[in-house]
Amino acid sequence: MTDDAIRYLDLPSPCGVLRLSADAQGLRGIRFEGRRGHGPAPAGWVHDPAALAGAHDALEAYFAGARTAFALPLHPLGTPFQLAVWRELARIPYGETISYGELARRVGDPGAARAVGAANGANPLPIVVPCHRVIGADGRLTGFAGGLPAKRWLLGLEARVARGDLFA
């Protein structure tokens, strides 16, 4: 991509239709159908599956249990604090979960669990930047942009793949 246009495609997935969007620098967004930020494509966006083929293929491989990490060019837009939180999210190992408090400690601000939660909720690249791997301190599943059923499904997929039982 060489111009400033946002390219997009809608990808059917086990978690519903995902709208992927990118600019010339990388993947900018993944939105769940029926959720905040997913509606008709904004004016000026260009439907361009070829521009998002790498992200499309990587996500399909992830959903099939054949990919446990992503190596895509990313271009999330956020505050310096949000970007720091998202960098830490990307470091959570596949198949593992941590609490918001642990994420705050990893960001270097142990008292900022609520702020970390807000940044986690603003993550524009769910799945690829695995905000679904953050759970409540008591082990309960908490909010997720795709809804709790999608979060449960993603964590279940990762648990099955991690223990070598994809078809369970």
pLDDT confidence tier of residue 29, bands split at 50, 70 and 90: very high
How confident is the model at residue 165, as a pLDDT? 78
Distance of CA 133 to the CA centre of its chain: 10
Catalytic residue among 18, 98, 103, 131: 131
Per-residue pLDDT at 35 exceeds 80: no
Does the pLDDT of residue 38 top 80, yes or no? no
**Which of 34-43, 79-88, 107-116 holds the top average pLDDT?**
79-88
The residue assigned the tokens 């008591």 is 138
Give catalytic status of residue 15 as yes or no: no
Q: Is the pLDDT of residue 64 over 90?
A: yes
Please tell me the CATH code under which domain 7-63 is placed. 3.30.160
**Exposed/middle/buried for 116, CB within 10 Å: 0-12, 13-18, 19+?**
buried
pLDDT at 101 over 50: yes
**In Å, how far are 13, 81, 121, 150 from 32, measured between CA atoms?**
10, 24, 13, 10
* Nearest residue to 145 (alpha-carbon basis) of 57, 9, 16, 49: 16
pLDDT at 1: 45
Asked if the domains 7-63 and 80-162 are classified in one and the same CATH topology, the answer is no
Q: Is 44 helix (H, G, I), strand (E, B) or coil?
A: coil
Mean per-residue pLDDT for 89-116? 93
Q: In whole angstroms, give the CA distance from residue 72 to residue 160.
A: 24
Q: Which CATH number fits domain 80-162: 1.10.10.10, 3.40.50.1860, 3.40.50.300, 1.10.600.10?
A: 1.10.10.10
- The answer to whether 11 touches 61, Cβ cutoff 8 Å, is no
The domain limits of the chain are 7-63, 80-162
* Banded pLDDT at 167 (limits 50, 70, 90): low
| Average pLDDT of the residues in 130-159 | 92
